């Protein structure tokens, strides 16, 4: 079975397993060349290890039962790491109020506090230097998601 078909079947299995948990959502599935099947699942309030283990057991059992993957593989179910880019609008929603580092498609970099998200845009508060000799201003900016290459949550240890 092709990697794409494996990923599609795994997505269906994950969705089936979390169907009764509206707070959980599938972020990404990757079959890596090293034969590691990575499933990233998140929750509106995070996801615990017990949920990851239950998803792993369910998906692993079904894949074996259906003989979806012929060769040996490793199955890993986890939440996206704190340094993982935000992929889904739902991930932005759960990070409202946090500082984001945004890489734009044109190469520009922006940074600000996420205020809200709608279907097509994120709204951030960013610090902008005014004219020479002026103070830094905090302005609200609307950024179309279609112009964003990558967004990461910025962690401060201050």
Which phi and psi angles does 55 have, rounded to 5°?
Answer: -65, -45
| C-alpha Rg value of the chain to the nearest Å | 19
CATH 2.30.30.100 placement within the chain: 89-153
pLDDT of residue 73: 92
Fold of 89-153: SH3 type barrels. (2.30.30)
148, 102 contact by CB (below 8 A): yes
Q: Residue 111 pLDDT more than 90?
A: yes
Instruction: Please provide the distance, in angstroms rounded to a whole number, between the alpha carbons at the two ends of the chain.
Output: 49
Q: Which CATH number is associated with domain 3-78?
A: 3.30.300.70
149, 143 contact by CB (below 8 A): no
What percent of the chain has a predicted confidence (pLDDT) above 70? 99
3-state helix, strand, coil in the chain (%, to 5): 25, 40, 35
CATH 3.30.300.70 placement within the chain: 3-78
pLDDT of residue 130: 73
87, 28 contact by CB (below 8 A): yes
Instruction: Using alpha carbons, select from 80, 78, 117, 82 the residue that is nearest to residue 97.
Output: 117
How many CB atoms are located within 10 Å of the residue 97 CB?
Answer: 9
3, 41 contact by CB (below 8 A): no
What percent of the chain has a predicted confidence (pLDDT) above 90? 75
Q: Residue 17 pLDDT more than 90?
A: yes
Q: Where are the alpha helices (DSSP H) in 20-130?
A: 49-66, 89-94
For residues 158 and 155, give the distance between their C-alpha atoms in angstroms, rounded to a whole number.
9
SS3 (DSSP) at 151: strand
pLDDT of residue 155: 87
SS3 (DSSP) at 42: strand
């Amino acid at each position: 079975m092709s990697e794409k078909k494996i990923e599609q079947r795994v997505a269906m299995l994950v969705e089936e397993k979390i169907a009764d948990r509206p707070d959980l959502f599938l972020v990404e599935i990757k079959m890596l060349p090293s034969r590691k099947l990575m499933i990233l699942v998140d929750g509106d309030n995070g996801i615990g290890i017990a949920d990851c283990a239950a998803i792993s057991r369910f998906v692993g059992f079904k894949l074996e039962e259906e003989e979806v993957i012929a060769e040996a593989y490793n199955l890993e179910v986890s939440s996206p790491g704190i340094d993982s880019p935000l992929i889904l609008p739902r991930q932005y929603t759960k990070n409202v109020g946090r500082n984001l580092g945004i890489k734009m498609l044109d190469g520009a970099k922006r940074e600000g506090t996420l205020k809200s998200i709608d279907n097509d845009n994120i709204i951030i508060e960013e610090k902008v230097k005014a004219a020479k000799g002026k103070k830094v201003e905090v302005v609200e900016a609307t950024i179309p998601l279609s112009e964003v290459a990558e967004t990461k949550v910025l962690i401060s240890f201050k």
